[in-house]
Amino acid sequence: MRQFAAPGEIGSGSGKSRERSPLSQREREIVQLVAQGYKNKEMAEKMFISEQTVKNHLHNIFDKLGVSDRLELALYAIHKGLHLSQNGSLFRMLASASLPCLACST
């Protein structure tokens, strides 16, 4: 598996052959929602944008961060601490993961 970019590498202008741009505020919001388990349609509704705009943002994020899919993006976000929003945690993702409820077990 590829290693994630070093903290100062993204948008630092370190003279690498391909300079990466920092994420916009909207792109950071998308990263948070992906890491929290939201689907494209849910993100679009939550952010009051079209599903195609979400897809465009994801394409740009993948390019900027050098990740190839949502799983890699979610792992990147968790590694960098980008997955936590102001109001919470990964509860939504865990709740939707179809894991057995330990508190409900008999």
Q: What is the DSSP letter of 11?
A: T
Confidence at residue 9, expressed as pLDDT on a 0 to 100 scale: 46
Would you list the domain boundaries of the chain? 25-95
Q: How would you class 30 by CB atoms within 10 Å of its CB: exposed for 0-12, middle for 13-18, buried for 19 or more?
A: buried
Closest CA relative to residue 80, chosen from 5, 21, 14: 5
How far is CA 37 from its chain centroid?
Answer: 9
- Distance separating alpha carbons of residues 27 and 101, to the nearest angstrom: 33
Closest CA relative to residue 65, chosen from 37, 24, 100: 24
Confidence at residue 3, expressed as pLDDT on a 0 to 100 scale: 56
Count the helices and strands in the chain (H runs, E runs). Answer: 5, 0
State mean pLDDT over 62-81: 95
Confidence at residue 82, expressed as pLDDT on a 0 to 100 scale: 83
Architecture label for domain 25-95: Orthogonal Bundle (1.10)
> pTM, whole model, 2 decimals?
0.63
Q: Which of 48-52, 62-66, 86-90 has the lowest mean pLDDT?
A: 86-90
State mean pLDDT over 16-26: 71
